[in-house]
Amino acid sequence: MTVGIVGIGLMGGSFAKALRKYKLASKIFGYDHNLEHQKTALELNLVDDICDINILKKCDLIVLCIPVDSVISFAKKLEDVSKTTTIVDFGSTKELIVQNIPKQIRKNFVAAHPMTGTEKFGPKAAIDGLYENKIVVLCDTFENSSYHLDKVLNIFKTIGMKIIQMDAKEHDIHACYMSHLPHAVSYALANTVMSHENPKEIITLAAGGFRDMSRIAKSSPNMWCDIFRQNRQNLLDSLNIYESKLVLLKEMLQNEDYENIHMFMAKANTLHDILK
């Protein structure tokens, strides 16, 4: 199987590593507009060669590991691929993507969201085992032909992923609360601290809790701005709920209601019982 990976960063590069480990590809092509990424991906042996759009279209599998807005625009370039070419995207939003895939290739196009990643990006961020024992959500697969769906299912199973199928609209709601809202909070926290503290004090006094909560604020603005745009309404809804919890905590502090603050914290502690 020849594979073309569009976007040779954390997700694309790590997927290339998985393909090599499990011997799933006879040749891996990389497609990336960033010349430095192309060079680094070759140096790290993430891909065998850099390809143009014509070679990409001839691959058996095309993997789109690019920002979600770019997935929609790039899919239009693939309207004339063969009926046997499978296309899969790794975007963090799904509803707007599946709604905008050209009809000619909708059966070819498998909408997937691997629930994994780090705050790092670029080819050097690629790591071994990123996908192993992680969940991948496949959305609206009723629109796929069995040929393309089975190919993608086999690949994900082989590299050790746990597969869940879900409606795209439902996925975007869940992804918002589990991923998009935490990123929004982390960006806001980082900006709050930077507006109040000077860099020297941040370096000196930042402890584990702050570092943990602000870590994902290092995530790519290019990628996350697109995600926020595509999942705008769900993110606004979740931020309204989050804001109401902050208002509640603020009111309890103003009223020195420490008994209810303790209960508020204790309820939050139960989340870790669920996540065990």
Residue range 230-274, pLDDT digits in tens: 999 999 999 999 999 999 999 999 999 999 999 999 999 998 777
Q: At how many degrees (to 10) do helices 258-269 and 232-254 cross?
A: 140
With a CB cutoff of 8 Å and minimum separation 6, the contacts of 133 are 160, 161, 162
In angstroms, the Cα distances linking 135 to 86, 191, 270 are 21, 31, 23
Beta strands 162-166 and 2-6: pairing type? unpaired
Give the Cα separation of 153 and 129 in Å (integer): 18
**Residue 18 predicted with pLDDT over 70:** yes
What is the reported pLDDT for 176?
96
**Residue 222 predicted with pLDDT over 90:** no
Averaged pLDDT of the chain: 93
Instruction: With beta carbons less than 8 A apart as the criterion, state whether 81 and 105 touch.
Output: yes
User: Which domains does the chain possess?
Assistant: 2-166 (3.40.50.720), 171-275 (1.10.3660.10)
For 141-195, write each residue's pLDDT tens digit: 999 999 999 999 999 999 999 999 999 999 999 999 999 999 999 999 888 888 8
With a CB cutoff of 8 Å and minimum separation 6, the contacts of 74 are 6, 64, 66
What is the reported pLDDT for 21?
96
What is the reported pLDDT for 15?
97
Give the Cα separation of 112 and 110 in Å (integer): 6
* Percent of the chain surpassing pLDDT 90: 83
What is the reported pLDDT for 211?
75
What is the reported pLDDT for 207?
63
For 70-84, write each residue's pLDDT tens digit: 999 999 999 999 999
**Residue 202 predicted with pLDDT over 80:** no
What is the reported pLDDT for 192?
86
> What number of residues does the chain have?
276
The confidence band for 3, taking pLDDT boundaries of 50, 70 and 90, is very high
What is the reported pLDDT for 216?
82
